[in-house]
A and B are shown apart, each in its own frame.
Chain A
Amino acid sequence: MNPTIAMITFRSMLGRRRALLLFVLPGLLLLLSLVLRLTDTNDMEVDTNVLQTFALGAVLPLLALIAGTGVIGPEIDDGQIMYILTKPVPRRTVVLTKLAVAIVLVTLFAAVPTLLAGLILGAPAGLTPAFTVGVLVGGVAYAAVFVALGVLSRNAVTIGLLYALVWESLFGNFAPGAKKASIVQWALSVTHSLTDASTVHPAVSLPTAVTMLVVVTLAATVLATVRLRSLTVASAE
Protein backbone atom coordinates (compact mmCIF):
# COMPACT_ATOMS: atom_id res chain seq x y z
CA MET A 1 0.00 0.00 0.00
CA ASN A 2 1.28 3.40 -0.96
CA PRO A 3 -0.69 6.40 0.35
CA THR A 4 0.50 8.77 -2.39
CA ILE A 5 -0.61 6.48 -5.22
CA ALA A 6 -3.90 5.91 -3.43
CA MET A 7 -4.48 9.64 -3.06
CA ILE A 8 -3.69 10.36 -6.72
CA THR A 9 -5.99 7.56 -7.83
CA PHE A 10 -8.84 8.77 -5.63
CA ARG A 11 -8.42 12.26 -7.00
CA SER A 12 -8.48 11.06 -10.60
CA MET A 13 -11.60 8.97 -9.97
CA LEU A 14 -13.57 11.53 -7.99
CA GLY A 15 -12.27 14.79 -9.41
CA ARG A 16 -14.65 17.24 -11.07
CA ARG A 17 -17.58 15.77 -12.99
CA ARG A 18 -16.32 12.19 -13.06
CA ALA A 19 -17.82 11.40 -9.68
CA LEU A 20 -21.23 12.26 -11.14
CA LEU A 21 -21.30 8.98 -13.02
CA LEU A 22 -20.55 7.11 -9.82
CA PHE A 23 -23.36 8.90 -7.97
CA VAL A 24 -26.04 8.45 -10.64
CA LEU A 25 -26.35 4.65 -10.49
CA PRO A 26 -26.72 4.25 -6.69
CA GLY A 27 -28.89 7.38 -6.72
CA LEU A 28 -31.33 5.64 -9.07
CA LEU A 29 -31.37 2.58 -6.82
CA LEU A 30 -32.23 4.69 -3.78
CA LEU A 31 -34.85 6.64 -5.73
CA LEU A 32 -36.52 3.44 -6.89
CA SER A 33 -36.59 2.06 -3.34
CA LEU A 34 -37.99 5.32 -2.01
CA VAL A 35 -40.77 5.41 -4.62
CA LEU A 36 -41.65 1.78 -3.91
CA ARG A 37 -41.75 2.44 -0.18
CA LEU A 38 -43.81 5.62 -0.45
CA THR A 39 -46.37 4.03 -2.79
CA ASP A 40 -46.33 0.97 -0.50
CA THR A 41 -46.13 -1.47 -3.44
CA ASN A 42 -43.28 -3.57 -2.11
CA ASP A 43 -43.51 -7.12 -0.76
CA MET A 44 -40.77 -9.68 -0.28
CA GLU A 45 -40.77 -10.65 -3.96
CA VAL A 46 -40.45 -7.05 -5.17
CA ASP A 47 -37.73 -6.35 -2.58
CA THR A 48 -35.73 -9.35 -3.75
CA ASN A 49 -36.29 -8.35 -7.37
CA VAL A 50 -34.99 -4.82 -6.79
CA LEU A 51 -31.99 -5.92 -4.72
CA GLN A 52 -31.13 -8.85 -6.99
CA THR A 53 -31.69 -7.57 -10.54
CA PHE A 54 -30.96 -3.90 -9.98
CA ALA A 55 -28.47 -3.65 -7.09
CA LEU A 56 -26.58 -6.92 -7.58
CA GLY A 57 -27.25 -7.49 -11.29
CA ALA A 58 -26.91 -4.00 -12.81
CA VAL A 59 -25.41 -1.44 -10.42
CA LEU A 60 -22.63 -3.67 -9.04
CA PRO A 61 -21.14 -4.88 -12.37
CA LEU A 62 -21.29 -1.43 -13.95
CA LEU A 63 -19.78 0.34 -10.95
CA ALA A 64 -17.09 -2.30 -10.52
CA LEU A 65 -16.32 -1.93 -14.23
CA ILE A 66 -16.00 1.85 -13.97
CA ALA A 67 -13.97 1.69 -10.76
CA GLY A 68 -11.84 -1.36 -11.65
CA THR A 69 -10.76 -0.27 -15.12
CA GLY A 70 -10.85 3.44 -14.23
CA VAL A 71 -8.16 3.22 -11.54
CA ILE A 72 -5.50 1.95 -13.93
CA GLY A 73 -6.71 1.91 -17.56
CA PRO A 74 -6.58 5.62 -18.44
CA GLU A 75 -3.13 6.01 -16.84
CA ILE A 76 -1.71 3.19 -18.96
CA ASP A 77 -3.36 4.63 -22.06
CA ASP A 78 -1.97 8.13 -21.81
CA GLY A 79 1.41 6.96 -20.52
CA GLN A 80 1.14 8.62 -17.11
CA ILE A 81 1.73 5.23 -15.45
CA MET A 82 5.42 5.69 -16.33
CA TYR A 83 5.75 8.32 -13.60
CA ILE A 84 4.69 5.68 -11.06
CA LEU A 85 6.56 2.74 -12.59
CA THR A 86 9.88 4.62 -12.69
CA LYS A 87 9.75 5.20 -8.94
CA PRO A 88 11.27 2.57 -6.62
CA VAL A 89 7.87 1.19 -5.68
CA PRO A 90 7.27 -2.55 -6.11
CA ARG A 91 4.76 -3.37 -8.87
CA ARG A 92 2.92 -5.52 -6.35
CA THR A 93 2.34 -2.43 -4.21
CA VAL A 94 1.07 -0.48 -7.22
CA VAL A 95 -1.46 -3.17 -8.13
CA LEU A 96 -2.57 -3.72 -4.54
CA THR A 97 -3.03 0.02 -3.95
CA LYS A 98 -5.05 0.44 -7.13
CA LEU A 99 -7.13 -2.61 -6.21
CA ALA A 100 -7.73 -1.26 -2.70
CA VAL A 101 -8.93 2.05 -4.13
CA ALA A 102 -11.28 0.20 -6.50
CA ILE A 103 -12.66 -1.90 -3.63
CA VAL A 104 -13.23 1.19 -1.48
CA LEU A 105 -15.08 2.85 -4.37
CA VAL A 106 -17.24 -0.23 -4.97
CA THR A 107 -18.01 -0.42 -1.26
CA LEU A 108 -18.95 3.25 -1.10
CA PHE A 109 -21.01 3.37 -4.28
CA ALA A 110 -22.50 -0.16 -4.48
CA ALA A 111 -22.49 -1.91 -1.08
CA VAL A 112 -23.52 1.08 1.05
CA PRO A 113 -26.38 2.07 -1.32
CA THR A 114 -27.56 -1.56 -1.27
CA LEU A 115 -27.69 -1.42 2.52
CA LEU A 116 -29.56 1.89 2.40
CA ALA A 117 -31.97 0.62 -0.28
CA GLY A 118 -32.70 -2.46 1.82
CA LEU A 119 -33.32 -0.28 4.88
CA ILE A 120 -35.60 2.08 2.92
CA LEU A 121 -37.55 -0.87 1.54
CA GLY A 122 -37.67 -2.47 4.99
CA ALA A 123 -36.85 -5.83 3.40
CA PRO A 124 -37.90 -8.81 5.55
CA ALA A 125 -36.08 -12.04 6.43
CA GLY A 126 -32.63 -10.48 6.75
CA LEU A 127 -32.48 -9.70 3.03
CA THR A 128 -30.73 -6.36 3.61
CA PRO A 129 -27.54 -7.55 5.36
CA ALA A 130 -27.46 -10.66 3.18
CA PHE A 131 -27.49 -8.66 -0.07
CA THR A 132 -25.04 -6.11 1.33
CA VAL A 133 -22.54 -8.87 2.09
CA GLY A 134 -23.25 -10.44 -1.31
CA VAL A 135 -22.60 -7.15 -3.13
CA LEU A 136 -19.44 -6.63 -1.07
CA VAL A 137 -17.84 -10.00 -1.83
CA GLY A 138 -18.99 -9.81 -5.46
CA GLY A 139 -17.55 -6.30 -5.63
CA VAL A 140 -14.11 -7.45 -4.39
CA ALA A 141 -13.97 -10.21 -7.03
CA TYR A 142 -15.24 -7.91 -9.81
CA ALA A 143 -12.76 -5.18 -8.86
CA ALA A 144 -9.83 -7.64 -8.95
CA VAL A 145 -10.93 -9.03 -12.35
CA PHE A 146 -11.46 -5.61 -13.90
CA VAL A 147 -8.17 -4.19 -12.56
CA ALA A 148 -6.42 -7.19 -14.17
CA LEU A 149 -8.35 -6.56 -17.41
CA GLY A 150 -7.32 -2.91 -17.30
CA VAL A 151 -3.65 -3.96 -17.15
CA LEU A 152 -4.03 -6.69 -19.78
CA SER A 153 -5.98 -4.99 -22.51
CA ARG A 154 -6.77 -1.59 -23.92
CA ASN A 155 -10.28 -2.77 -24.73
CA ALA A 156 -10.78 -3.55 -21.04
CA VAL A 157 -14.11 -1.75 -20.72
CA THR A 158 -15.60 -3.47 -23.76
CA ILE A 159 -14.37 -6.91 -22.73
CA GLY A 160 -15.71 -6.30 -19.24
CA LEU A 161 -19.08 -5.31 -20.70
CA LEU A 162 -19.18 -8.39 -22.90
CA TYR A 163 -18.47 -10.55 -19.86
CA ALA A 164 -20.88 -8.84 -17.46
CA LEU A 165 -23.75 -8.31 -19.89
CA VAL A 166 -23.50 -10.93 -22.61
CA TRP A 167 -22.01 -13.85 -20.69
CA GLU A 168 -23.60 -13.38 -17.27
CA SER A 169 -26.98 -11.98 -18.28
CA LEU A 170 -27.75 -13.11 -21.83
CA PHE A 171 -26.08 -16.54 -21.96
CA GLY A 172 -27.00 -17.09 -18.32
CA ASN A 173 -30.66 -16.97 -19.31
CA PHE A 174 -30.35 -19.35 -22.27
CA ALA A 175 -27.63 -21.73 -21.12
CA PRO A 176 -27.77 -22.47 -17.38
CA GLY A 177 -24.17 -23.71 -17.53
CA ALA A 178 -22.94 -20.16 -18.10
CA LYS A 179 -24.36 -19.19 -14.71
CA LYS A 180 -21.83 -21.47 -13.00
CA ALA A 181 -19.01 -19.19 -14.17
CA SER A 182 -20.62 -15.93 -13.12
CA ILE A 183 -19.46 -13.64 -10.32
CA VAL A 184 -23.02 -12.40 -9.75
CA GLN A 185 -24.21 -15.98 -9.16
CA TRP A 186 -21.35 -16.67 -6.73
CA ALA A 187 -22.28 -13.51 -4.82
CA LEU A 188 -25.93 -14.58 -4.90
CA SER A 189 -24.95 -17.91 -3.41
CA VAL A 190 -23.27 -16.11 -0.49
CA THR A 191 -26.43 -14.02 -0.08
CA HIS A 192 -28.57 -17.15 -0.11
CA SER A 193 -26.61 -18.68 2.76
CA LEU A 194 -27.20 -15.57 4.90
CA THR A 195 -30.96 -15.24 4.48
CA ASP A 196 -33.87 -17.61 5.01
CA ALA A 197 -35.98 -15.89 2.34
CA SER A 198 -37.40 -18.32 -0.24
CA THR A 199 -37.11 -15.84 -3.11
CA VAL A 200 -33.34 -16.14 -3.66
CA HIS A 201 -32.32 -18.93 -6.06
CA PRO A 202 -28.56 -19.20 -6.61
CA ALA A 203 -27.19 -21.42 -9.40
CA VAL A 204 -24.16 -22.71 -7.47
CA SER A 205 -23.60 -24.16 -4.02
CA LEU A 206 -21.94 -22.12 -1.27
CA PRO A 207 -18.59 -24.01 -1.05
CA THR A 208 -18.11 -23.78 -4.82
CA ALA A 209 -19.03 -20.11 -4.79
CA VAL A 210 -16.64 -19.18 -1.96
CA THR A 211 -13.80 -21.20 -3.48
CA MET A 212 -14.32 -19.63 -6.90
CA LEU A 213 -14.54 -16.10 -5.45
CA VAL A 214 -11.26 -16.53 -3.56
CA VAL A 215 -9.47 -18.24 -6.46
CA VAL A 216 -10.60 -15.69 -9.06
CA THR A 217 -9.73 -12.72 -6.85
CA LEU A 218 -6.25 -14.04 -6.07
CA ALA A 219 -5.56 -15.18 -9.63
CA ALA A 220 -6.62 -11.82 -11.06
CA THR A 221 -4.42 -9.91 -8.60
CA VAL A 222 -1.38 -12.10 -9.32
CA LEU A 223 -1.99 -11.83 -13.08
CA ALA A 224 -2.22 -8.04 -12.87
CA THR A 225 1.07 -7.89 -10.92
CA VAL A 226 2.87 -10.18 -13.36
CA ARG A 227 1.62 -8.25 -16.39
CA LEU A 228 2.50 -4.89 -14.85
CA ARG A 229 6.09 -6.12 -14.35
CA SER A 230 6.62 -6.31 -18.11
CA LEU A 231 4.30 -3.59 -19.29
CA THR A 232 5.13 -1.96 -22.59
CA VAL A 233 3.73 1.51 -22.93
CA ALA A 234 2.81 2.19 -26.52
CA SER A 235 1.99 5.66 -27.75
CA ALA A 236 -1.57 6.87 -27.37
CA GLU A 237 -3.83 6.13 -30.32
Chain B
Amino acid sequence: MNVSTIHDIGYRHYDGKRLGRAYVTRSIFVHNLRAAYGLGRPARAKVMPFILVGIMLLPAVGDIAVVAIAKRPEALFPYTRYQFMLQLIISIFVATQAPVLASREIRFHTVPLYFSRPVGHVDLVLAKLGAFATALFALTATPVTLLYVGGLVTQVPDSGEHLLHYLGGLAACLLLSLVLAAIGLVVAAFTPRRGFGVAAVIAVLIVSEALVSIVQKIAEHTGHWTMSGWLGLCTPFTLVDAVAVRLLGGKEGVTVPSGLRGGAVALVLCALIVAGSVLVLHARFRKAGLS
Protein backbone atom coordinates (compact mmCIF):
# COMPACT_ATOMS: atom_id res chain seq x y z
CA MET B 1 0.00 0.00 0.00
CA ASN B 2 1.41 3.31 -1.09
CA VAL B 3 0.86 6.05 1.50
CA SER B 4 1.69 8.90 -0.85
CA THR B 5 -1.27 8.24 -3.11
CA ILE B 6 -3.78 9.87 -0.80
CA HIS B 7 -1.87 13.19 -1.20
CA ASP B 8 -1.44 12.86 -4.94
CA ILE B 9 -4.57 14.55 -6.18
CA GLY B 10 -3.42 14.94 -9.74
CA TYR B 11 -1.49 18.21 -9.85
CA ARG B 12 1.27 18.28 -12.43
CA HIS B 13 4.83 18.37 -11.16
CA TYR B 14 7.30 21.07 -12.11
CA ASP B 15 10.06 19.49 -14.16
CA GLY B 16 11.58 22.69 -15.59
CA LYS B 17 14.86 24.37 -14.83
CA ARG B 18 15.30 25.69 -11.28
CA LEU B 19 16.99 29.08 -11.29
CA GLY B 20 18.65 28.66 -7.92
CA ARG B 21 20.50 30.68 -5.39
CA ALA B 22 22.49 33.03 -7.62
CA TYR B 23 19.35 34.08 -9.48
CA VAL B 24 17.43 34.80 -6.25
CA THR B 25 20.33 36.79 -4.83
CA ARG B 26 20.63 38.81 -8.03
CA SER B 27 16.89 39.49 -7.98
CA ILE B 28 17.05 40.72 -4.39
CA PHE B 29 19.98 42.98 -5.32
CA VAL B 30 18.15 44.52 -8.28
CA HIS B 31 14.90 44.91 -6.34
CA ASN B 32 16.63 46.67 -3.46
CA LEU B 33 18.67 48.89 -5.76
CA ARG B 34 15.45 50.03 -7.45
CA ALA B 35 13.73 50.45 -4.08
CA ALA B 36 16.54 52.75 -2.89
CA TYR B 37 15.44 55.26 -5.53
CA GLY B 38 11.73 54.47 -5.23
CA LEU B 39 11.58 52.85 -8.68
CA GLY B 40 8.73 50.39 -8.99
CA ARG B 41 6.94 52.12 -6.13
CA PRO B 42 4.41 55.00 -6.12
CA ALA B 43 5.51 58.53 -7.08
CA ARG B 44 5.43 59.51 -3.41
CA ALA B 45 8.41 57.24 -2.78
CA LYS B 46 10.38 58.72 -5.69
CA VAL B 47 10.10 62.37 -4.63
CA MET B 48 12.65 62.42 -1.81
CA PRO B 49 15.52 60.43 -3.37
CA PHE B 50 15.38 62.39 -6.62
CA ILE B 51 15.16 65.77 -4.85
CA LEU B 52 18.28 64.80 -2.91
CA VAL B 53 20.03 63.68 -6.13
CA GLY B 54 19.14 67.07 -7.59
CA ILE B 55 20.57 68.93 -4.60
CA MET B 56 23.73 66.81 -4.87
CA LEU B 57 24.22 67.84 -8.51
CA LEU B 58 23.49 71.56 -8.06
CA PRO B 59 26.87 72.67 -6.62
CA ALA B 60 28.77 70.70 -9.31
CA VAL B 61 26.78 72.32 -12.11
CA GLY B 62 27.22 75.76 -10.56
CA ASP B 63 30.95 75.20 -10.13
CA ILE B 64 31.43 74.14 -13.75
CA ALA B 65 29.51 77.23 -14.83
CA VAL B 66 31.85 79.41 -12.76
CA VAL B 67 34.92 77.66 -14.21
CA ALA B 68 33.64 77.98 -17.77
CA ILE B 69 32.28 81.53 -17.70
CA ALA B 70 34.75 83.23 -15.37
CA LYS B 71 37.70 81.24 -16.86
CA ARG B 72 39.00 80.34 -13.41
CA PRO B 73 40.20 76.72 -13.56
CA GLU B 74 41.41 76.89 -9.95
CA ALA B 75 37.79 77.26 -8.81
CA LEU B 76 37.04 73.62 -9.71
CA PHE B 77 36.18 71.72 -6.51
CA PRO B 78 38.74 69.06 -5.49
CA TYR B 79 37.13 65.68 -6.28
CA THR B 80 37.69 64.12 -2.86
CA ARG B 81 36.26 67.14 -1.04
CA TYR B 82 32.90 67.06 -2.78
CA GLN B 83 31.29 64.30 -0.71
CA PHE B 84 32.61 65.94 2.43
CA MET B 85 31.10 69.33 1.52
CA LEU B 86 27.70 67.75 0.88
CA GLN B 87 27.76 65.30 3.77
CA LEU B 88 24.50 66.66 5.16
CA ILE B 89 22.61 65.76 1.97
CA ILE B 90 24.25 62.33 1.81
CA SER B 91 23.35 61.76 5.47
CA ILE B 92 19.70 62.61 4.78
CA PHE B 93 19.68 60.25 1.78
CA VAL B 94 21.08 57.44 3.93
CA ALA B 95 18.57 58.20 6.69
CA THR B 96 15.50 58.27 4.44
CA GLN B 97 16.40 55.28 2.26
CA ALA B 98 18.09 52.87 4.71
CA PRO B 99 14.74 52.06 6.43
CA VAL B 100 13.23 51.38 2.99
CA LEU B 101 15.75 48.60 2.50
CA ALA B 102 16.20 47.26 6.01
CA SER B 103 13.07 48.03 8.07
CA ARG B 104 10.05 47.21 5.92
CA GLU B 105 10.34 43.42 5.73
CA ILE B 106 11.08 43.26 9.45
CA ARG B 107 8.14 45.56 10.29
CA PHE B 108 5.65 43.53 8.27
CA HIS B 109 7.15 40.19 9.33
CA THR B 110 7.75 39.08 5.75
CA VAL B 111 11.41 38.05 6.10
CA PRO B 112 10.52 34.32 6.44
CA LEU B 113 9.12 34.45 2.90
CA TYR B 114 12.64 35.06 1.55
CA PHE B 115 14.04 32.04 3.33
CA SER B 116 11.37 29.75 1.91
CA ARG B 117 13.45 30.10 -1.28
CA PRO B 118 16.92 28.77 -1.89
CA VAL B 119 18.63 31.86 -0.46
CA GLY B 120 21.01 31.92 2.48
CA HIS B 121 21.03 34.47 5.28
CA VAL B 122 24.39 35.81 4.13
CA ASP B 123 23.14 36.11 0.54
CA LEU B 124 20.23 38.30 1.62
CA VAL B 125 22.43 40.52 3.78
CA LEU B 126 25.14 40.89 1.13
CA ALA B 127 22.56 41.61 -1.58
CA LYS B 128 20.96 44.34 0.55
CA LEU B 129 24.29 45.86 1.57
CA GLY B 130 25.56 45.72 -2.01
CA ALA B 131 22.38 47.29 -3.35
CA PHE B 132 22.46 50.18 -0.88
CA ALA B 133 26.19 50.75 -1.39
CA THR B 134 25.61 50.83 -5.16
CA ALA B 135 22.76 53.31 -4.74
CA LEU B 136 24.96 55.54 -2.56
CA PHE B 137 27.86 55.22 -5.01
CA ALA B 138 25.57 56.41 -7.80
CA LEU B 139 24.56 59.37 -5.62
CA THR B 140 28.12 60.40 -4.73
CA ALA B 141 30.02 59.46 -7.89
CA THR B 142 27.67 61.14 -10.39
CA PRO B 143 28.47 64.75 -9.33
CA VAL B 144 32.19 63.94 -9.11
CA THR B 145 32.08 62.51 -12.63
CA LEU B 146 30.17 65.58 -13.74
CA LEU B 147 32.93 67.77 -12.27
CA TYR B 148 35.60 65.76 -14.10
CA VAL B 149 33.77 65.88 -17.42
CA GLY B 150 33.13 69.60 -16.87
CA GLY B 151 36.84 70.06 -16.24
CA LEU B 152 37.70 68.22 -19.46
CA VAL B 153 35.23 70.20 -21.54
CA THR B 154 36.43 73.55 -20.19
CA GLN B 155 40.02 72.35 -20.73
CA VAL B 156 41.37 72.75 -17.23
CA PRO B 157 45.22 72.39 -17.34
CA ASP B 158 47.07 69.25 -16.07
CA SER B 159 44.58 66.70 -17.38
CA GLY B 160 46.83 63.79 -16.32
CA GLU B 161 46.90 64.89 -12.72
CA HIS B 162 43.15 65.49 -12.85
CA LEU B 163 42.56 61.93 -14.01
CA LEU B 164 44.53 60.60 -11.02
CA HIS B 165 42.61 62.81 -8.61
CA TYR B 166 39.34 61.80 -10.23
CA LEU B 167 40.11 58.11 -9.77
CA GLY B 168 41.08 58.83 -6.16
CA GLY B 169 37.78 60.65 -5.72
CA LEU B 170 35.86 57.67 -7.13
CA ALA B 171 37.66 55.32 -4.73
CA ALA B 172 36.75 57.61 -1.83
CA CYS B 173 33.11 57.63 -3.00
CA LEU B 174 33.09 53.83 -3.09
CA LEU B 175 34.57 53.56 0.40
CA LEU B 176 32.14 56.12 1.80
CA SER B 177 29.20 54.30 0.18
CA LEU B 178 30.22 51.00 1.75
CA VAL B 179 30.74 52.50 5.22
CA LEU B 180 27.51 54.52 5.18
CA ALA B 181 25.48 51.61 3.81
CA ALA B 182 26.84 49.39 6.58
CA ILE B 183 26.03 51.87 9.36
CA GLY B 184 22.66 52.91 7.92
CA LEU B 185 21.35 49.38 7.37
CA VAL B 186 22.38 48.17 10.82
CA VAL B 187 20.68 51.09 12.59
CA ALA B 188 17.57 50.82 10.40
CA ALA B 189 17.29 47.06 10.93
CA PHE B 190 17.02 47.62 14.66
CA THR B 191 14.37 50.39 14.47
CA PRO B 192 11.56 48.90 12.38
CA ARG B 193 8.90 51.40 13.46
CA ARG B 194 8.10 53.88 10.72
CA GLY B 195 9.77 57.27 11.09
CA PHE B 196 11.93 56.08 13.94
CA GLY B 197 14.43 54.45 11.61
CA VAL B 198 14.99 57.74 9.77
CA ALA B 199 15.49 59.61 13.03
CA ALA B 200 17.81 56.96 14.45
CA VAL B 201 20.10 56.92 11.40
CA ILE B 202 20.30 60.70 11.17
CA ALA B 203 20.92 60.90 14.92
CA VAL B 204 23.87 58.52 14.61
CA LEU B 205 25.38 60.39 11.66
CA ILE B 206 24.74 64.00 12.72
CA VAL B 207 25.27 63.66 16.46
CA SER B 208 28.57 61.81 16.06
CA GLU B 209 29.64 64.64 13.75
CA ALA B 210 28.57 67.40 16.18
CA LEU B 211 29.99 65.65 19.22
CA VAL B 212 33.37 64.90 17.63
CA SER B 213 33.75 68.40 16.18
CA ILE B 214 33.12 69.94 19.62
CA VAL B 215 35.61 67.60 21.33
CA GLN B 216 38.12 68.21 18.51
CA LYS B 217 37.81 71.97 18.91
CA ILE B 218 38.43 71.68 22.66
CA ALA B 219 41.40 69.35 22.09
CA GLU B 220 42.92 71.84 19.62
CA HIS B 221 42.17 74.66 22.03
CA THR B 222 44.27 72.94 24.67
CA GLY B 223 47.03 72.07 22.20
CA HIS B 224 46.37 68.34 21.75
CA TRP B 225 46.65 68.35 17.93
CA THR B 226 47.54 64.67 17.56
CA MET B 227 44.60 63.60 19.73
CA SER B 228 42.30 65.86 17.74
CA GLY B 229 43.42 64.12 14.54
CA TRP B 230 42.75 60.64 15.89
CA LEU B 231 39.34 61.75 17.21
CA GLY B 232 38.45 62.45 13.57
CA LEU B 233 38.25 58.69 13.01
CA CYS B 234 35.09 58.55 15.16
CA THR B 235 32.72 59.85 12.46
CA PRO B 236 32.11 58.09 9.13
CA PHE B 237 32.76 61.12 6.91
CA THR B 238 36.04 62.14 8.55
CA LEU B 239 37.09 58.49 8.66
CA VAL B 240 36.75 58.17 4.89
CA ASP B 241 38.29 61.62 4.47
CA ALA B 242 41.34 60.41 6.40
CA VAL B 243 41.79 57.58 3.88
CA ALA B 244 41.22 59.99 0.98
CA VAL B 245 43.73 62.56 2.26
CA ARG B 246 46.45 60.16 3.41
CA LEU B 247 46.24 57.35 0.86
CA LEU B 248 44.42 58.70 -2.21
CA GLY B 249 46.14 62.07 -2.54
CA GLY B 250 43.13 64.21 -1.65
CA LYS B 251 43.26 67.84 -0.55
CA GLU B 252 43.42 68.38 3.20
CA GLY B 253 40.33 69.90 4.79
CA VAL B 254 39.57 68.82 8.33
CA THR B 255 41.85 67.49 11.03
CA VAL B 256 42.81 63.87 10.33
CA PRO B 257 45.62 61.72 11.72
CA SER B 258 49.00 62.40 10.15
CA GLY B 259 51.13 60.19 7.92
CA LEU B 260 50.44 57.02 5.96
CA ARG B 261 49.88 55.19 9.24
CA GLY B 262 46.80 57.33 9.97
CA GLY B 263 45.36 56.51 6.55
CA ALA B 264 46.06 52.81 6.96
CA VAL B 265 44.39 52.72 10.38
CA ALA B 266 41.37 54.53 8.91
CA LEU B 267 41.17 52.01 6.06
CA VAL B 268 41.32 49.09 8.50
CA LEU B 269 38.56 50.72 10.59
CA CYS B 270 36.37 51.06 7.48
CA ALA B 271 36.87 47.36 6.69
CA LEU B 272 36.02 46.46 10.29
CA ILE B 273 32.81 48.53 10.17
CA VAL B 274 31.65 46.81 6.97
CA ALA B 275 32.56 43.32 8.20
CA GLY B 276 30.95 43.94 11.60
CA SER B 277 27.77 45.19 10.00
CA VAL B 278 27.50 42.05 7.85
CA LEU B 279 27.75 39.96 11.01
CA VAL B 280 25.16 42.03 12.90
CA LEU B 281 22.74 42.14 9.94
CA HIS B 282 23.16 38.39 9.46
CA ALA B 283 22.14 37.76 13.07
CA ARG B 284 19.26 40.25 12.82
CA PHE B 285 17.77 38.82 9.63
CA ARG B 286 18.23 35.24 10.81
CA LYS B 287 16.21 36.07 13.93
CA ALA B 288 13.58 37.90 11.87
CA GLY B 289 13.51 34.96 9.45
CA LEU B 290 12.25 32.54 12.07
CA SER B 291 8.53 32.35 11.47
Interface residues of A (CB under 8 A from B): 17-18, 21, 24-25, 28, 32, 36, 41, 46, 49-50, 53-54, 57-59, 62, 65-66, 69-70, 73-74, 77-78, 154-158, 161-162, 165-166, 169-170, 237
* B66, CB-defined interface residue at 8 Å: no
CB-based contact B200/A21 at 8 Å: yes
* B198, CB-defined interface residue at 8 Å: yes
Option from A53, A73, A74, A237 in Cβ contact (under 8 Å) with B210:
A53
Interface size class of B (residues with CB under 8 A): 20 to 34
Interface mask (B190-234 → A, CB under 8 Å = 1, otherwise 0): 110111101110110011001100110110011000000000000
* B264, CB-defined interface residue at 8 Å: no
CB-based contact A154/B44 at 8 Å: yes
CA distance A62 to B196 in the complex (A): 11
Looking at chain B's contact residues, is the secondary structure mostly helix, strand, loop, or mixed?
helix
A170: B residues at CB distance < 8 A: 88
* B45, CB-defined interface residue at 8 Å: yes
CB-based contact B198/A77 at 8 Å: no
CB-based contact B207/A165 at 8 Å: no
Within 8 A of A (CB), among B50-80: 55
B55: A residues at CB distance < 8 A: 166
* B176, CB-defined interface residue at 8 Å: no
A24: B residues at CB distance < 8 A: 203
CA distance A156 to B47 in the complex (A): 13
Quote the shortest CB–CB distance from B118 to chain A (angstroms): 28
Within 8 A of A (CB), among B80-139: 88-89, 91-92, 95-96
CA distance A59 to B214 in the complex (A): 14
* B41, CB-defined interface residue at 8 Å: yes
CA distance A154 to B217 in the complex (A): 38
Q: List 5 A-B contacts (CB under 8 A).
A: A18-B196, A62-B206, A78-B194, A158-B48, A161-B198
* B42, CB-defined interface residue at 8 Å: yes
CB-based contact A165/B92 at 8 Å: yes
CB-based contact A21/B191 at 8 Å: yes
Option from A21, A28, A46, A50 in Cβ contact (under 8 Å) with B199:
A21
CB-based contact A169/B88 at 8 Å: yes
Q: Which residue of A lies closest to B215 (CB)?
A: A32
CA distance A114 to B198 in the complex (A): 24
A73: B residues at CB distance < 8 A: 194-195
CA distance A206 to B45 in the complex (A): 40
Option from A28, A74, A157 in Cβ contact (under 8 Å) with B207:
A28
Q: Which residue of B lies closest to A66 (CB)?
A: B199
CA distance A154 to B48 in the complex (A): 11
CB-based contact B203/A25 at 8 Å: yes
A41: B residues at CB distance < 8 A: 218, 221-222
Option from B199, B207, B218 in Cβ contact (under 8 Å) with A65:
B199
Give 8 new A-B contacts, CB below 8 A, not counting A18-B196, A77-B195, A155-B48.
A28-B211, A32-B214, A32-B215, A41-B221, A54-B211, A74-B196, A161-B95, A237-B41
